[in-house]
Amino acid sequence: MYIFYADVYLLQNLWMDFIALAGANCLLRRRVKGRRLWFIAFLSSIGTLIITLTVTEPFCRAILIHFLLNTGMVVLCFGKSSWREFLENWAVIYLMVIFLGGVMELLRSSATGMTFFWIQAVIAALVLSVVTWYLGRRKQFGNQLFPVTLVHRGHAMEIMGYWDSGNQLRDPYDHRPVCILSRHMAAKILNPKKDRVHFIPYCSLGQKEGLLPVTEIACIKIQNGRHEVEIRPAAVGIANEGLLEGKEYDMILHASMLESRERGTKYDHETCTAKI
């Protein structure tokens, strides 16, 4: 006779949902806090338990859990996002849940005799952590997007920055590297009445020459894996209307800022420090 233990079932789903959310958060670099991950995993495990106890039809139960509940878990955890980011979040979490279940099933049926759930869960979590770390390292060096924090006049704003090796623009007055910020984000953090703007010449593809408005902000922090690069103060150019709108990033980083990004070393002793 099969005995259903609701508390064990709840803990199993809580553990697996948290590991899947944490793995996706790490791999995709969403920067969601741990307490939120635990809370969403708890809500998801409660929902799974309720559906399991109330829905007797296996097909309907699978549809509700795998599509409705998992979709809600993704939205609650990562918030509103573009369709591309949502599908990426959903697919990565779903694949991690499948991977966790496969590893645990392999351990359960192996000849080692590991039948205790928590031993299986810990080993599965360790395996998933190694896989996530490896994929994250590959993505870090293959992907040019980095989390960036802008600090100015007591306010901090988190955005995504694109490291562009072709951005060699420097302010001709002090030779500092210039990052290009979208006009939409610039309006949020800059104060037109207090922040002085000057213009520097530039050229780009599709436009032979022009003048770019440039100002100074207190600090730019670039998160490069375990390393954090700080630029104090930082020169920021304001992009033309529509240049960076609708993209996955709101800032184009200067090429020199991450030339040594794999080591996290500083590139300019006057403006940058690196933390490990």
- Cβ pair 248, 160 in contact under 8 A: yes
pLDDT of residue 235: 95
Q: What's the pLDDT band for 186 if we cut at 50, 70, 90?
A: very high
Q: What's the pLDDT band for 182 if we cut at 50, 70, 90?
A: very high
- pLDDT of 162 higher than 50: yes
> Any idea which residue has 């302010």 for tokens?
171
Tell me the three state secondary structure of residue 269.
coil
101-134: per-residue pLDDT in tens? 666 666 565 544 444 555 555 655 566 566 555 5
pLDDT of residue 61: 87
CA distance 107 to 118: 11
pLDDT of residue 221: 94
Quote the tokens at residue 276: 């490990």
- Cβ pair 146, 163 in contact under 8 A: yes
Question: What's the angle, vertex CA 18, arms to CA 128 and CA 247, rounded to 5?
Answer: 85
- Cβ pair 172, 235 in contact under 8 A: no
Q: What's the pLDDT band for 11 if we cut at 50, 70, 90?
A: confident
- How far does CA 122 lie from the centroid of its chain? 25
Quote the tokens at residue 241: 């209307």
- How far does CA 272 lie from the centroid of its chain? 23
- Cβ pair 256, 268 in contact under 8 A: yes
CA distance 219 to 258: 16
pTM: 0.47
C-alpha Rg value of the chain to the nearest Å: 24
- How far does CA 5 lie from the centroid of its chain? 36
Residues 26-37: what's their mean pLDDT?
81
Q: What's the pLDDT band for 89 if we cut at 50, 70, 90?
A: confident
CA distance 199 to 193: 17
- pLDDT of 38 higher than 80: yes
Handedness of CA 129, 135, 140, 144 (dihedral sign): negative
Task: Give the least confident one: 29-33, 73-77, 159-163.
Answer: 29-33
pLDDT of residue 122: 62
Higher per-residue confidence, 1 vs 208: 208
- pLDDT of 138 higher than 70: no
- pLDDT of 192 higher than 90: no
pLDDT of residue 50: 92
217-259: per-residue pLDDT in tens? 999 999 887 778 999 999 999 998 878 887 888 999 998 887 5
Beta pairing class for 251-253 and 155-163: parallel
Tell me the three state secondary structure of residue 195.
coil
Between the CA of residue 198 and those of 175, 201, 212, 215, 217, what are the distances in Å? 14, 10, 8, 7, 13
Cα end-to-end span (Å), the chain = 56
For residue 8, the surrounding DSSP H or E stretch is helix 6-28
- pLDDT of 14 higher than 50: yes
Residues 181-202: what's their mean pLDDT?
91
Domain boundaries, the chain: 6-142, 145-275
Q: What's the pLDDT band for 42 if we cut at 50, 70, 90?
A: very high
Quote the tokens at residue 142: 């293959």
Please tell me the CATH code under which domain 145-275 is placed.
2.40.70
- pLDDT of 212 higher than 70: yes
- pLDDT of 169 higher than 80: yes
Instruction: Name the residue among 274, 271, 275 with its Cα closest to residue 236.
Output: 271
